[in-house]
Every structure is written in C-alpha cells, then in structure tokens.
Amino acid sequence: MTTPRPHDEMDDVMTNVPGEPDVLPEDEVYVFPMSYAQQRIWFLDQFQPGSPFYNIPTAMRLTGRLDVDALRRAVNEIVRRHEALRTTFRSIRGEPCQIILPRLTLDLPVVSLEGLPVEEREVAALRLARDEARKPFDLARGPLLRFNLLRLAEDDHVALVTMHHIVSDGWSVSVFVRELSILYAAFSRGLPSPLPELPIQYADFAEWQREWLQGEVLERQYAYWEKQLQGPVPIVELPGDRPRPPVQTANGATLHTKLPRSLIDRLHALSRQEGATLFMTLLAGFKVLLHRYTGLSDLPVGTPIANRTRAELEPLIGIFINTLVLRDTATERVYALQNANNDVTAIVDENGDVLERYVYDPYGVTFFLDAAWVDQGSSAVGMQYLYQHSYAGTPLDLFARISEKNHSHSTLNPLAAHTKAMSAEQIAWFRAGAALNLMRS
C-alpha cells in the first residue's frame, strides 16, 4: 500500500513531526501527493490560515457508567487504523504533500463540570462545545483530530470530536462513530479489536485518483463540465430582511423543520408517478422556491455526493465528498406553471440529466474552475464561484446506513447497542458557519 519517498525528500518533513520532533527514523515517514480535494482545502487554508470554517464538529451524549481508559484506547485504535488521522500537510519543494506519521497517540482531556450547579452544567457544556468547534487546526503540525470529554456527572458525559475537513467528511464521521462503538464495547470487556484491518488507505486512493484523472480521461471530463457550465454564472441573490455587510462573513443560522408524515408520503407518491427519485422531486421543489424569490430561470445549485464509488472506499476515513453543480436553463414557460397543481412535476422533467452528471467525476469541475480563475487573473475562493445555494438530499444517518450495509455491526446509536452499562446519542449543538446564501439538508 503506502510507500515512503526517498530519504533526500525527508529533511523538511522531520523538522516538525507533531509531538515527536527529530525522533522518528526518516524511512518511517510516508510522503504522498495530496488528493485533489485535499489540495483545494489546503490551498484555501493558505489564504485563511487557522480558519475554523472547515472544522467538522460532532458531539455525543454518553449516559451511564463510562470506562474512560477503554474509550481512550478505542480512539487511539481508530487513529492507528486510519492513516488519514495521522496525516499533516505542507509544501515540499513546491509540491503540496500529505505526510503520514507511522504512529500518533492522542490524549483524552477530561473537563469536569461537576463543581457547577446542576442547572448551569448544560449551558457550560454547550459553551465549551462551541468554543471547541471554532478552535483552529494547524495543517502543517497536526494532529487534525481532537477528542475531548466533558463530565457533567459521574454517569453523564459529552464527547466532543472535531476533525478537519481535509482528513474527513460526513461519511467519515459515521465511520468514526461506528468504529468507536465497536472498539469501546470490546475494550471495556477486556476483548481485542474485532475489526478487520483495512484493505487500503486514503493515500492509496489519492495516488490512484491522480494516475486515473489525466490525459484523455481528464480532457473528456473537462470538456463535459466546460459545456455544462458555459456562459456567465448568474448571481442568485435572495431578498433579505436587512442589508448585507460590505465584507462577506460566515455568520448564519440553522432552522430545523419536521415534515408531517402525510406530506412525505405524498412526495414519495409524486416521485413514483413521475418516474423520478425523491431527490429529484425535492430538488425541483427547491428550485421552484429559488425561482419564486429571485425570478431567475438559470439556477445553479450545488449538491454534495459521497463519491465512494468502490466498496473498499466505504470503511475509510478521509475526504471523498465532492460537489456536483446542477445547472439547467429551464424556460420561463416551465416556471410559469409554478402556480398550478403540477408545478413540481414540470420541474422534475427538467432534472432528467441529473443522473448523467453522476457519470462524470466531479473533480473535472475542479480543473474547470482552476482554468477559469487563471483566465480571470483571480484567486480561488471556493466552489461558490459557480453557485450560491446548495441542496443536500442525503442526511448523515442515511450515509451511515449506506456505509454499514456490508458490515455486520450496524447502528448509528451504537454504544447503546453494544453495552448495557451506557448509552450514546449524537447531538446537534453547533454549526461552524454558513458558506452559502441558502443550504438545504
């Protein structure tokens, strides 16, 4: 699998091994080119170093008797299994590289809130969780995973897990939670890890991707996306209830809404009637909403895809997710039907090419963007060059079910399933910021 670069490329690497400077032999440090997704995030980090925007925070409420030593062992076993969590990033001789350490041991800091009045502990935990979510990472030094434990009571803890997006994505969070549950259950009973060794590592994928996406394949991908995204990109501005600030920020808010069962059933029925997936139907409705607010017909919408197209990629932690840009130029006639009973139905037909987009690797968009920015003489600021609104049709729990479908252990609330002494629940306490005008997920 992973193989080290020649020794003469290690001099700069060894000067800043996190936690163990000048200790590891040169031939134990592995150096690889970054994947395209890693390279783009690393590039953006050079413009805004220390930004918490690409932090991926997760909180888990642990209720019951907790074996902290078993939890610490479980976390570090995950770090051992996944090279991505032992990786740092820097430029070596002008080439963006990922540097993989052979070993890394994380501490498990425990912050006790038991000295506070009971009614204040929850508020304090929430404040600490939000502070942790905004704490920046140093991509060159690492580590790019933090695990902190808040003790509210002897039988009540909150685990705070924060990973940088350059080594993780939403699917990876599900992988982490799943493995943590299985390993904790084993270690708390004095048993060895039941998890099989991983067949490949993320760096293997990065090398394969770079070998595949070049030459004729790259030209075909680039040509497709150039055709799909040709022409001026419209600025889709939503009407706001107050003026926008002169300098864009990532400030935003999240609104949680529960749809009634009857509405969900009707959406499924409409999808079946039109021969479309639920994703296409909801995307159509999202575009109708944007059209009603803006009056535009050209509505580019970004949608994240897992991008794990091979079975051996499913159990890995790493950044695979990418964005497809769905842009169509539906006619005013179609949008004029929005007040009729079949308004969404008409738009579903306009999204017939969605499946075609999935055939083409979204990293073709990356090369198209790079060329566009070079032509304009400007710097890369993200995929927002192509869209200002995002539609995510697959929630995190579905990612978890997909990734676990070929595994014997499958649950998103896993610790409760594996030990009677303790239960766990993922809690949504925070969001790092708002990258776009409107994101539906």
User: Which residues in 114-176 belong to E strands, given as ranges?
Assistant: 145-153, 156-164
Q: Is the pLDDT of residue 295 over 50?
A: yes
pLDDT band at residue 370, thresholds of 50, 70 and 90? low
pLDDT higher at 168 or 227: 168
Cβ–Cβ < 8 Å for 52, 133: yes
Residue closest to 190 by CA, chosen among 69, 48, 57: 69
Q: Is the pLDDT of residue 227 over 60?
A: yes
Token pair 């075909």 is at which residue? Answer: 220
217: left (phi over 0), alpha (psi -120 to 50) or beta: alpha
Max Cα-Cα span within the chain: 71
Q: Is the pLDDT of residue 407 over 50?
A: no
Query: Mean pLDDT for the chain?
Result: 75
Mention every residue, 6+ apart, whose C-beta is less than 8 A from residue 56: 162, 163, 164, 165, 168, 169, 170, 173, 432
- Going from the C-alpha of 405 to that of each of 82, 202, 311, 414, 426, the distances in angstroms are 20, 21, 11, 15, 20
**Domains located in the chain, CATH noted:** 7-16+23-200+406-433 (3.30.559.10), 206-239+259-396 (3.30.559.30)
Provide, rounded to the nearest whole percent, the portion of the chain with pLDDT above 70: 67
Q: Which helix (H) or strand (E) holds 99?
A: strand 95-100
Q: Is the pLDDT of residue 18 over 50?
A: no
- What does the pLDDT read at residue 410? 31
DSSP state string for 314-330? TT--S---EEEEE--B-
Cβ–Cβ < 8 Å for 366, 34: no
For residue 67, the number of C-alpha atoms closer than 13 Å in the C-beta half-sphere is 21
Residue closest to 409 by CA, chosen among 160, 159, 177, 72: 177
Residue closest to 42 by CA, chosen among 99, 86, 3, 82: 99
pLDDT band at residue 234, thresholds of 50, 70 and 90? confident
Q: In this predicted model, what pLDDT tens digit does every residue of 322-342 receive, in sequence order? A: 777 777 654 443 444 444 445
Query: Average pLDDT, stretch 278-302?
Result: 81
Best mean pLDDT range from 24-28, 246-250, 359-363 = 246-250
Vertex 44 angle, CA 43 and 50, to 5°:
110
Q: Is the pLDDT of residue 181 over 70?
A: yes
Weakest mean pLDDT among 32-46, 181-195, 249-263: 249-263
Task: Go through the chain and tell me how many residues it has.
Answer: 441
Q: Give the Cα separation of 261 and 397 in Å (integer).
A: 18
Q: In this predicted model, what pLDDT tens digit does every residue of 62-76 receive, in sequence order? A: 999 999 999 999 999
Q: In this predicted model, what pLDDT tens digit does every residue of 137-156 receive, in sequence order? A: 999 999 999 999 999 999 99
Q: Give the Cα separation of 60 and 341 in Å (integer).
A: 43
- What does the pLDDT read at residue 396? 33
pLDDT higher at 24 or 125: 125
- What does the pLDDT read at residue 196? 95
pLDDT higher at 10 or 120: 120
Q: Is the pLDDT of residue 13 over 50?
A: no
- Going from the C-alpha of 39 to that of each of 230, 257, 319, 338, the distances in angstroms are 25, 35, 11, 42
Query: Average pLDDT, stretch 280-291?
Result: 81
- What does the pLDDT read at residue 364? 58
283 SS3 class: helix
Please state at what angle helix 170-187 crosses helix 396-404, rounded to 10 degrees: 60
254 SS3 class: coil
Count, in order, helices (H) and strands (E) of the chain. 14, 12
Q: Give the Cα separation of 316 and 206 in Å (integer).
A: 12
For residue 291, the number of C-alpha atoms closer than 13 Å in the C-beta half-sphere is 24
- What does the pLDDT read at residue 10? 39
304 SS3 class: strand
Token pair 């479980």 is at which residue? Answer: 74
Write down the pTM of the prediction: 0.78
* DSSP-assigned letter for residue 23: T
Weakest mean pLDDT among 40-54, 319-333, 342-356: 342-356
Q: Is the pLDDT of residue 121 over 90?
A: yes
Query: Average pLDDT, stretch 377-394?
Result: 54
Provide, rounded to the nearest whole percent, the portion of the chain with pLDDT above 90: 35
